[in-house]
Amino acid sequence: MNAQSDPAPKREGITPDALLHTGAGGEVTAEDLVLASGRDINPKNMAWAERRLAEDGPAAIDKLLP
């Protein structure tokens, strides 16, 4: 019997692909942009995201994601 019963080990801290989206179906928020960049949500990063959204609009998130 195989000692490893789970064929795909879970990697902590990694968001499953099924939960990732670009926001194309709705409004992109500063929080979406911060999370897509891999940063923590805090006032400094939210201000950065708000500036990016003001400059680039919803396309700002597309520039971050592959």
| Blockwise average pLDDT, block size 10, the chain, 66 residues | 57 71 72 93 97 93 82
Please report the pLDDT score of residue 24 as a whole number.
Answer: 56
Residue-level pLDDT at 51: 97
Could you give the angle at the alpha carbon of 40 between the alpha carbons of 58 and 21, nearest 5°?
A: 40
Q: Nearest 5°: CA angle at 35, between 7 and 33?
A: 135
Burial 17-43 (b: 16+ CB within 10 A, else e): eeeeeebeeeebbbebbbbbbeeeeee
Provide the whole-model pTM: 0.61
